[in-house]
Amino acid sequence: MNLRSAARGFLFFLLSVPVLQGKDEWTVTYSSSNVCALRGATVDINCTYEYPDNVQYRPDTVTTQWFTKASNYQPVDLEHDTDYTGRVESSCGEVNCTGARCHGTCTLRIRDLRQSDSDVYKFRFTTNQPGGEYTGDPGVKLSVTDPDLQVKVSFPYPTSPTKAKLECHSMCGLAGDPRYIWFRNGQNVLQGMNYWIYIQSGYSYSCAVEGYEHQHSPLVYAPKTPSVTVSPSGEIEEGSSVTLSCSSDANPAATYTWFKVNRDGSSRYMNQGQQLIFRRILSSDSGRYRYGPKHVYINSSPSGEIEEGSSVTLSCSSDANPAAEYTWFKNNQSLLWEPNQPHTFPSIRPEDRGTYRCHAGNQYGHLSSNSIFMDVQYAPRTPSVTVSPSGEIEEGSSVTLSCSSDANPAANYTWFKNNQPLPWGPSQPHTFPSVRPEDRGTYRCHAENKYGQLSSNLLFINVQCELNIGLIC
């Protein structure tokens, strides 16, 4: 049996943390003392065992078994345990004796794991020597659980404060290499343990283990619009205690920074934390307080379908005080556009097609916008016609004519022979299963979409006839 195959698409292997059990020259080494696996999955528990090399301990007389419980003080082999019927298999390699020791390996595989399989598993081997039995204690503790996932968020690049790394982690430390799936606003977007994103308002992220897509991790998302409260409210008397509180729905939890606006328009850092407390407030504490950008949006004018050659303007807006400066990105690559915006394409081209977003920032924070896809549409370019096989074409052979044209949206094709339209469907290529002499002629194709049409150059097909006595092609 191939021990790398697995039920439900993945297999859990134990961590390589040697645990030596035994005394004197008898030992059992488990690859791990603890393992956590998902309900319904498959798990392998591995071990090696050793005993002294002696003529009375012949390799062909060694028997092995895995067990979790005993009956009448004798271990119950899992392969004979009714709780595991059809779900377990023990696979052991040959015993090798070198020097003064013999050693072997053994693997226990359990399929379709159940919650009740959570237990301590032990390996036992027996030789033909009276009393030549040994059990590896304390065994391997197996925990069978449902996915319990969390998303870890980190910001590895200080110069890119909105570029975040998301990592999917199981709270019980799943063994092996389970496959993770990422979701953005509930839609499957990626596979892998890590997911790199630019923080954008309005987006939430979660992960799941493949095969357990209905059990997502808790959502992570950027801070939503914060709210500020003053306690006590109403008129505030000088010398009293006043508390400003800021709150925002965010996961992971948001951090808060307070600033006060000076008379010259500059800002002064006050405090970090969810609350700003004045023990004895003074009249000089009167003023305005500022915050970083929030609600960053990108817009295209015109929106919808964009035709090649038209004028298009991208604009970015955000609620920020002081006003934000903007950085633009296309397909996640920064653009050398001026920080003031909007940006206008006087005559847009097909190569301007792509996904755009903007990044708003001031001295109090940074935030990225939503993304929009700008699809530049255009009429067909000059079509090209090819024939396969090329060169001389023999009567009765299979011949295919193909037409291609760069167009957006994709073009429909019409075929002509000797300038007469052919009743072929708009799809192409077209194949002659057995070309005939009457197929000889000059062919061209015509590409068309709603923005325009264009014909290809001419292609001449010369069918070489089979010459038969008394017949002329």
Q: Band the pLDDT of 8: cuts 50, 70, 90.
A: very low
- Judge contact between 462 and 392, C-beta under 8 A: yes
User: What is the pairing mode between strands 11-13 and 42-52?
Assistant: parallel
Is the pLDDT confidence value at 86 over 60? Answer: yes
Distance of CA 183 to the CA centre of its chain: 8
Is the pLDDT confidence value at 466 over 70? Answer: no
Q: Band the pLDDT of 316: cuts 50, 70, 90.
A: confident
For residue 260, the model assigns a pLDDT of 82
DSSP assignments along 93-143, one per residue: ---EEETTEEEEEEEEEE-S--GGG-EEEEEEEE-SSTT-EEE-SS-EEEE
Q: Band the pLDDT of 309: cuts 50, 70, 90.
A: very high
Distance between CA atoms of residues 108 and 88, nearest Å:
7
Full-model pTM: 0.48
pLDDT digits (tens, 9 = 90+) for 362-377: 777 777 777 788 889 9
Lowest mean pLDDT among 171-180, 267-276, 301-310: 171-180
Is the pLDDT confidence value at 401 over 50? Answer: yes
Q: Of all residues in the chain, what percent carry a pLDDT higher than 90?
A: 19
Is the pLDDT confidence value at 21 over 50? Answer: no
Q: Band the pLDDT of 470: cuts 50, 70, 90.
A: very low
The arithmetic mean of pLDDT across residues 266-271, rounded, is: 77
For residue 7, the model assigns a pLDDT of 33
Distance between CA atoms of residues 275 and 142, nearest Å:
46
Instruction: Report helix, strand and coil shares of the chain as percent, to nearest 5.
Output: 5, 50, 45
The arithmetic mean of pLDDT across residues 79-90, rounded, is: 91
| Contacts of residue 264, Cβ cutoff 8 Å, sequence gap at least 6 | none
| Contacts of residue 315, Cβ cutoff 8 Å, sequence gap at least 6 | 298, 299, 301, 341, 342, 343
232-243 residues labelled b (16+ CB within 10 A) or e (exposed): eeeebeeeeebe
How would you class 85 by CB atoms within 10 Å of its CB: exposed for 0-12, middle for 13-18, buried for 19 or more? exposed
Distance of CA 253 to the CA centre of its chain: 24
Helix (H, G, I), strand (E, B) or coil at 8: helix
pLDDT digits (tens, 9 = 90+) for 134-170: 888 889 989 888 777 888 888 887 766 677 889 888 7
Task: Kindly provide the residue ranges of all beta strands, DSSP E only, lying in 371-418, ordered along the sequence.
Answer: 372-374, 376-377, 384-388, 393-394, 399-404, 412-417
For residue 11, the model assigns a pLDDT of 42
Phi then psi for residue 447, to 5 deg, are -105, 135
pLDDT digits (tens, 9 = 90+) for 275-300: 889 999 888 887 776 666 666 778 88
Which residue in 401, 405, 462, 406 sits closest to 437, CA to CA?
A: 462
Longest dimension (CA), the chain: 122
Q: Is the peptide bond before 252 cis (omega within 30 degrees of 0)?
A: yes
Better pLDDT: 339 or 353: 353
- Judge contact between 348 and 310, C-beta under 8 A: yes
Is the pLDDT confidence value at 310 over 70? Answer: yes
The arithmetic mean of pLDDT across residues 50-65, rounded, is: 68
- Judge contact between 300 and 372, C-beta under 8 A: yes
Better pLDDT: 348 or 235: 348
For residue 121, the model assigns a pLDDT of 94
CA dist 424 → 130, 281, 445 (Å): 87, 86, 11
For residue 14, the model assigns a pLDDT of 41
For residue 55, the model assigns a pLDDT of 43
Distance of CA 179 to the CA centre of its chain: 9
